[in-house]
Amino acid sequence: MTGHTGSCHCGAIELQLHEPPLAVSECNCSICRRIGGLWHYCAVGSLTVTGPAVGYVQGDRTLTNWHCPTCACVTHWTAIDPDYGKVGVNIRMFDPALWQELPRRFVDGASF
């Protein structure tokens, strides 16, 4: 399968993205502004994660944010609702050549 490989800083968590990102999203909600993540949203099946990711569920309990227990990089989020069908991958875990020139969408997560 073609795709792109990314990882957390220490390499314990490996991310395989099976599609090219076409745009990236920045969100100003209470957790995203702290993490500083740059998100690519994709179907659940388009992302494969291996490694010992640790989950953190934020207050409103819609998403789990996953991070590496060793180097603390936030790698991706998953929805708690199994029918949601989408995940967000922190595209910063990949080579900047893959994403730094992409259009950036601003998501006003702080307002809802």
Candidates 7-15, 19-27, 36-44, 79-87; binding stretch for Zn ion (CB under 5 A): 7-15
| Binding of Zn ion by 8 (CB under 5 A) | yes
Q: Residue 107: what residue type?
A: V
CB 76 within 8 A of CB 90: yes
Q: Which is nearer to Zn ion, 30 or 48 (CB)?
A: 48
Q: Using CA atoms, how far apart are residues 75 and 83, in angstroms rounded to an integer?
A: 21
Candidates 14-22, 23-31, 66-74, 90-98; binding stretch for Zn ion (CB under 5 A): 66-74
| Binding of Zn ion by 12 (CB under 5 A) | yes
The residues near 97 (Cβ < 8 Å, ≥ 6 apart) are none
| Choice from 46, 58, 64, 70 touching Zn ion (CB under 5 A) | 70
Q: Using CA atoms, how far apart are residues 91 and 56, in angstroms rounded to an integer?
A: 19
Strands (E), 1-112: 4-7, 14-17, 24-27, 39-43, 47-50, 54-57, 63-67, 74-79, 86-90, 104-107
| Choice from 27, 47, 68, 89 touching Zn ion (CB under 5 A) | 68
Please report how close the Cβ of residue 59 comes to Zn ion at its closest, in angstroms: 25
| Binding of Zn ion by 15 (CB under 5 A) | no
Q: Which residues bind Zn ion (CB under 5 A)?
A: 8, 10, 12, 68, 70-71
